[in-house]
Amino acid sequence: MKQPSLGKRITKLRKAKGFTQEELVEKCKLNVRTLQRIEAGEVMPRSYTIKLIFSALGEEVFNAVPNKLVDRLQNEIRKYYTYFIDLFNLKTNAMKKLTILTISGLTICTVVLSACLTTEKTIKEQANASSMLGTWQLLKNGKPDTNYNNTASQVRYKTITPGKFVVTDVMFRDKVVRAAFSGNATVDDGIYTEEIDVTGGPGYAYMLGKKSSFKYSIKDSILTINGINNNYNEEWRRIK
């Protein structure tokens, strides 16, 4: 949901809960002016801010922010996720099995996406790009980031296929796969570039159409990217 619809939704929920703006910002640790601008539709808050607000209002973000694209992505993910859940008994080694299911689900989604979308110039056509193809897990201080975006048990994955990339957030604790964003991926003269053409989660709408470039290197299954005119400096470990 984009502004001003998001702001109107927050206002409606706040009033339904009987909160004043001052009471709500106290719960969210925000300032009143920020909330006023959000409710007025003047700004699009970050996903973390949206999460804080709806949590304080006792609402699930996906339930509170209806979005046809989110629904479509959720339905696709749920279809594959349910299928794989039925194959395994999660009463033992749940984390290990959830990891297997997640990787399998991401692979299937990627294959479907790659089969539907074509591009004249793909990563695979470039000799130095083939090593980037696969599924990667975001690291923090050299170790898997299992609390991405300060959310307990949340892990971020990036899958790169010929000409495309998909970023997905997985909450192992809740057994939920959250769509993030996807788009075109190219490598040219040692520069890796992503251009987002689909956003699938609340708070990501502002990223639609965003194009980011990075210098990159791969060593011992670790992908290191350093942003060019952006602050994204990250390490990813290959898992598939």
Report how far residue 125's alpha carbon sits from residue 60's, in angstroms, rounded to the nearest whole number.
Answer: 43
Omega before residue 4 within 30° of 0, cis:
yes
The percent of residues in the chain predicted with pLDDT above 70, rounded, is 68
pTM of this structure: 0.49
pLDDT at 61 over 80: no
Q: Which residues of 101-134 are buried (b: 16+ CB within 10 A; e: fewer)?
A: bbbbbbbbbbeebbeeeeeeebbeeeeebeebeb
Domain boundaries along the sequence of the chain: 5-64, 68-238
Tens of pLDDT along 112-167? 666 555 554 555 445 456 788 889 999 999 999 988 888 888 899 999 988 899 88
29 is written with which tokens?
A: 């640790």
Mean pLDDT check: name the lowest of 44-53, 65-74, 92-101, 192-201.
Answer: 65-74
Identify the band that residue 81 occupies on the pLDDT scale cut at 50, 70 and 90: low
Question: 5-64 architecture in CATH?
Answer: Orthogonal Bundle (1.10)
Residue 6 backbone zone (phi > 0: left; psi -120 to 50: alpha; other: beta): alpha
CA angle 162/181/196 to nearest 5° reads 65
Q: Which residues touch 39 (CB under 8 Å, ≥6 apart)?
A: 7, 8, 10, 11, 14, 21
Check if the beta carbon of residue 136 is closer than 8 Å to that of residue 197.
no
Strands 164-171 and 154-161: antiparallel
Average pLDDT on 183-201 reads 88
The half-sphere exposure of 128 on its side-chain side, counting CA atoms within 13 A, is: 11
| Cβ density class 144-174: b for 16+ within 10 Å, e for less | ebbebeebebbbbbbbbbbbbbbbbbbebee
Local confidence band at 195 (pLDDT 50, 70, 90 cut-offs): very high
- CA dist 215 and 227 (Å) reads 7
* Residues 240 and 134: beta-carbon distance below 8 Å: yes
Query: What CA–CA distance (Å, rounded) separates 216 from 214?
Result: 6
> What pLDDT does 49 receive?
84
Is the CATH number of domain 68-238 3.30.70.120?
Answer: no
